[in-house]
């Protein structure tokens, strides 16, 4: 993989084809455009390896589910979608709008995944929203983590960096999380967040659009006032 532009930290140690062939280190969010469309367009009409419970709802075409994957009752999956081997999708999850999920990922109860790429071992296990985002290998989202993907004014996502703004060219863009990023419970990442690999984000953090370095800790400083009852 080519060296990364100074503005963008290291993100992924490896990417599956054709993502690796199209990866631009200076614009990692571009994988959510034509490369993802290319992968999904190449899927067969239906290729489901294994038995699904009647309570699993499949909608639309081009749904691929690989061997060893366990899908719990109450899950809704809308094509096109690719789900790799040994994935676990827990009750009430909603997968929609073009998604690629790598091997051994976890999609948790009442989690929604929309237009996203999850690399191997990525986990969105508890009440998460993952919209127009990429989760690197071994990413773990704490319970209630939200990857917001849309500005209130509907404008294109521009990412602040070094006194200027990088135009992503996208009106919908959530977070790009490098390998091993961990988020704490109830953290919210605003549209256009890029986090280098190995960084930890503490619970309750509201992370604004921007580029954050690898192997860092993002803390929330909070002051508590405790008043005695009369």
DSSP string, 78-127: ESSEEE-TT-EE-TT-EEEEEEEE-TT-EEEET-EEEEEEE-TT-EEEES
Other Cβ atoms within 10 Å of 9 Cβ, number: 21
What's residue 6's pLDDT? 42
Other Cβ atoms within 10 Å of 46 Cβ, number: 12
Structure tokens given for 17: 């084809």
What's residue 221's pLDDT? 86
Which listed residue (57, 121, 126, 152) is catalytic? 126
Contacts of residue 65, Cβ cutoff 8 Å, sequence gap at least 6: 47, 48, 49, 50, 52, 71, 83
Pick out the chain residues at pLDDT < 70.
1-6
Domains and CATH numbers, the chain: 19-218 (2.160.10.10)
What's residue 7's pLDDT? 77
Nearest to 135 by CA among 55, 22, 31, 60: 31
What's residue 103's pLDDT? 98
Distance CA 119, CA 179 (A): 9
Output the CA angle 205-211-217, nearest 5 degrees.
45
Check whether the bond before 18 is cis (ω within 30° of 0). yes
Region of residue 204 (phi > 0: left; psi between -120 and 50: alpha; otherwise: beta): left
Question: Alpha carbon of 21 to those of 103, 163, 221: distances in Å?
Answer: 20, 31, 41
Distance CA 179, CA 223 (A): 32
Whether 22 is catalytic is no
Nearest to 179 by CA among 14, 2, 39, 29: 14
Structure tokens given for 208: 């604004």
What's residue 4's pLDDT? 42
Q: Position of tokens 């690989």?
A: 66
What's residue 58's pLDDT? 96
What's residue 1's pLDDT? 41
> 113 - beta bridge partners?
95, 130
What's residue 36's pLDDT? 97
Read off the pLDDT of residues 7-54 as tens digits, 9 standing for 90 and up. 799 999 999 988 999 999 999 999 999 999 999 999 999 999 988 999
Read off the pLDDT of residues 104-117 as tens digits, 9 standing for 90 and up. 999 999 999 999 99
């Amino acid at each position: 993989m080519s060296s990364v532009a100074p503005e963008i930290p290291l993100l992924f140690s490896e990417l599956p084809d054709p993502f690796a062939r199209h990866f631009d280190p200076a614009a990692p969010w571009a994988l959510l455009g034509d490369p993802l469309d290319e992968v999904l367009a190449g899927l067969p009409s239906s290729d489901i390896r294994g038995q699904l419970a009647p309570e699993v709802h499949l909608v639309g075409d081009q749904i691929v589910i690989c061997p060893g994957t366990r899908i719990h009752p109450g899950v809704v999956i809308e094509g096109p979608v690719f789900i790799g081997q040994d994935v676990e999708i827990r009750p009430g999850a909603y997968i929609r709008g073009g998604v690629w999920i790598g091997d051994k990922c976890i999609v948790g109860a009442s989690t929604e995944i929309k237009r996203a790429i999850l690399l191997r071992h990525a986990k969105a296990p508890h009440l998460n929203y993952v919209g127009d985002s990429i989760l690197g290998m071994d990413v773990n989202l704490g319970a209630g983590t939200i990857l917001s993907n849309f500005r209130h004014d509907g404008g294109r996502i521009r990412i602040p960096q070094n006194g200027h703004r990088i135009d992503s060219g996208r009106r919908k863009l959530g977070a790009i999380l490098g390998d091993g990023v961990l988020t704490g419970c109830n953290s919210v990442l605003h549209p256009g967040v890029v986090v280098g690999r190995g960084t930890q984000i503490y619970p309750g953090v509201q992370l604004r659009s921007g580029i954050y370095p690898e192997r860092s800790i993002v803390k929330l400083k909070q002051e508590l006032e405790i008043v005695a009852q009369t």
